[in-house]
Amino acid sequence: MSNQMTYGEGTLTFRHGVHPEEYKELSNHKKIQRIPFVEEYVLPLGQHIGAPSKALVRKGEEVRRGQKIAASVGFVSVALHSPVDGTVTDVGLVDNPKGEMVPGVRIKTDPYSSQQLEERPVDFESLDIKGFITAIQQAGIVGLGGAAFPSHVKFALPEDKSCRYIMLNGCECEPFLTADHRTMLEHAREVIDGILIIQHFLKAQKAFIAVEANKPDAIEALRLHASNNAFPVEVVPLQVKYPQGAEKMMITAILGQEVPTGKLPIDLGVLVVNVGTSKAISDYFRKGIPLFERILTVTGTAINNPANLLVPIGTPMREVINACGGVTDDAARILLGGPMMGAVQKSLDVPVVKGTSGLLVLGNAEIQDFQEYSCIRCGRCLQACPLFLNPARMGLLAKKGLWDDMEDLHVMDCFECGSCSFVCPSGIPLVQSFRVAKGILREKSLRERSLRESKAEGKES
């Protein structure tokens, strides 16, 4: 096995955080494999943050692999492409990973559909920055780390801002997941090439690739390819600690600076891109392949054959699990995403979407229910929270429904990494209650704003 764990190099990190068991050995040595086409693909139109795309196809229409089937609506929105040759069987409601029924397209696969696609490179050197942004939007590229934020929006820098550093996120700090690891190892060339394409337009000083030190082979592969070109690309091993891959934590680890609250990394001159996204950018400009498939990890203690797969977007979870030999009798819960931030699934009809980084089948051992005790104020959550929030106090406030007091303690800054709930010896659902608080506070501020606006309108008339 080539994965010798040498942690010596990764000393940079942020303060606080937790050390869950990694479970990466289940799949970190498995090569990325394609799975055969399945009978039907299910494509929700809203797979990204922002406005859902608008369907361009009708029932009964024939589509080709890579054909655009839905167009972006507004700026914060991207296009959607068919992953196969086939026939549209329905444009209606489909399941999505959030457990909702949303508008989407169903495509029945043509049995003779080919997985090969004619390579049609896009001449990006003739493009200006606007052309680049439009091209990325039309290629349907979103952040593949999990949030699925449209990438082109990040590249459209505000006029008073410039990009000093391009930072690639290859931390993959969630336990179990190894998709980014395998991407960096097997596609190091494409990952670095993506940086060079971005650099052609953004003119940064330098690029960093942040990788947790538990992926020494990926670090080596990236360094090998990074040294081949003039633009400085530094591969930075970071300490193995959760949530090292959170954007803010990664920036703090590398630059030693904090991202001010309410600001974006670009306010520090940093542009963060996931390694998978960088590869997707390279794939589009070098080969003309839009984002219609992604690499994901299928793993967990209760799946028969853990694997890293190249899966067409829209593949129902059921088919992905079948491709991995099915689940064991012990299977208790199925998640999309990692165990710390992923979402539990109630239906196997839910498809893989652009933001799906992993499919996790947990056994009974991992999900045993913990009895909840009173808060003993041990302060472990304070020592875990990467944002230096006070989860213990906010948890007590949440029990009393004192949302406004929670806002004073900056609950809105919480990005829900779950470290507090992970360490809480009393098994108190801390992050879960913060999610509720954030929802309530967000709703309240919306209501207040609309009230103010309607008052202002009343005065005008």
Partner 1 sequence: MSVQKVQMEISTAPFLKDVATTPKIMWLVIYTLIPILLVSVYYFGISALLISLTAVLSCVFTEWLFNFSNDPIKTLKDGSAIITGLLLALTLPPGFPLWMVFIGGVVAIGMGKSMWGGLGQNIFNPALLGRAFLQAAFPTAITTWSSPGGSFLSLKGTNTALPFFQGQNIDAFSGATPLAQMKFQHIGTDTLALLMGNTGGSLGETCGLLLILSGIYLLAKKIINWRIPVSILLTVVVISGIFYLIDRQIYPTPLFMLLSGGLLLGTVYMATDLVTSPLTPKGIWIYGVGIGVLVVLIRIWGGLPEGVMYAILLMNAATPLINRYAKIRTYGHLK
> Which of 264, 322, 393, 440: binder of partner 1 (CB under 8 A)?
393
Nearer to partner 1, 66 or 337 (CB): 337
Q: Which of 81, 80, 85, 79 is nearest to 37 (CA)?
A: 85
Instruction: Tell me how far apart the alpha carbons of residues 111 and 113 are, in angstroms, rounded to a whole number.
Output: 6
Nearer to partner 1, 26 or 341 (CB): 341
Contact assessment for residue 359 and residue 320, using Cβ atoms and an 8 Å cutoff = yes
> Which of 178, 274, 301, 390: binder of partner 1 (CB under 8 A)?
390
Interacting stretch for partner 1, rule CB under 8 A, among 146-154, 269-277, 409-417, 447-455? Answer: 409-417
Least Å distance between CB 368 and partner 1?
8
Residue with tokens 């001159």: 269
Interacting stretch for partner 1, rule CB under 8 A, among 90-98, 199-207, 279-287, 405-413? Answer: 405-413
Q: In this structure, is the dihedral angle defined by the CA atoms of residues 4, 8, 12 and 16, taken in order, positive or negative? A: positive
Q: Which of 318, 314, 291 is nearest to 303 (CA)?
A: 318
> Which of 21, 125, 329, 457: binder of partner 1 (CB under 8 A)?
21
Nearer to partner 1, 139 or 385 (CB): 385
Interacting stretch for partner 1, rule CB under 8 A, among 184-192, 251-259, 282-290, 322-330? Answer: 251-259
Q: Is 432 a residue that touches partner 1 (CB under 8 A)?
A: yes
Contact assessment for residue 211 and residue 238, using Cβ atoms and an 8 Å cutoff = yes
303: how many CB neighbours lie within 10 A of its CB?
25
Nearer to partner 1, 129 or 441 (CB): 441
Q: Is 422 a residue that touches partner 1 (CB under 8 A)?
A: yes
> Which of 333, 348, 403, 441: binder of partner 1 (CB under 8 A)?
333
Least Å distance between CB 213 and partner 1?
20
Return the residues of window 43-102 that contact partner 1 according to CB under 8 A: none
Least Å distance between CB 126 and partner 1?
40
Least Å distance between CB 182 and partner 1?
22
Instruction: Tell me how far apart the alpha carbons of residues 115 and 311 are, in angstroms, rounded to a whole number.
Output: 11
Q: Is 251 a residue that touches partner 1 (CB under 8 A)?
A: no
Return the residues of window 334-373 that contact partner 1 according to CB under 8 A: 335, 337, 339-344, 362, 366-367, 370, 373
Q: Is 431 a residue that touches partner 1 (CB under 8 A)?
A: yes
Q: Is 410 a residue that touches partner 1 (CB under 8 A)?
A: yes
Instruction: Tell me how far apart the alpha carbons of residues 105 and 28 are, in angstroms, rounded to a whole number.
Output: 33
Least Å distance between CB 441 and partner 1?
16
Q: How many CA atoms lie within 13 A of 125 on its CB side?
A: 2
Residue with tokens 């990006």: 124
Q: Is 261 a residue that touches partner 1 (CB under 8 A)?
A: yes
Return the residues of window 368-387 that contact partner 1 according to CB under 8 A: 370, 373-380, 382, 386-387
Interacting stretch for partner 1, rule CB under 8 A, among 186-194, 227-235, 284-292, 427-435? Answer: 427-435
Reduced to 3 states (helix: H, G, I; strand: E, B; else coil), residue 255 is helix
Q: What is the full DSSP assignment across 180-197? A: HHHHHHH-HHHHHHHHHH
CA dihedral 368, 374, 378, 384 (to 10 degrees): 50
Return the residues of window 181-210 that contact partner 1 according to CB under 8 A: none
User: 87 exposed, middle or buried (CB, 10 Å; 0-12, 13-18, 19+)?
Assistant: middle
Query: Total residues at the site for partner 1 (CB under 8 A)?
Result: 56
Nearer to partner 1, 7 or 388 (CB): 388
- What's the length of the chain? 461
Nearer to partner 1, 235 or 362 (CB): 362
Gyration radius from the chain CA atoms: 22
Contact assessment for residue 133 and residue 156, using Cβ atoms and an 8 Å cutoff = yes
Beta-strand (E) ranges in 101-232? 101-109, 165-170, 206-212
Instruction: Tell me how far apart the alpha carbons of residues 443 and 244 are, in angstroms, rounded to a whole number.
Output: 30
Nearer to partner 1, 162 or 432 (CB): 432
Instruction: Tell me how far apart the alpha carbons of residues 450 and 456 are, in angstroms, rounded to a whole number.
Output: 10
| Token pair listed for 305 | 């054959």
Q: How far is CA 130 from CA 133, 153, 162, 286, 425, in A?
A: 5, 11, 15, 19, 52
> Which residues sit at the interface with partner 1, rule CB under 8 A?
18, 20-21, 175, 248, 252, 258-263, 333, 335, 337, 339-344, 362, 366-367, 370, 373-380, 382, 386-390, 392-393, 409-410, 413, 416, 418, 421-427, 431-432, 435
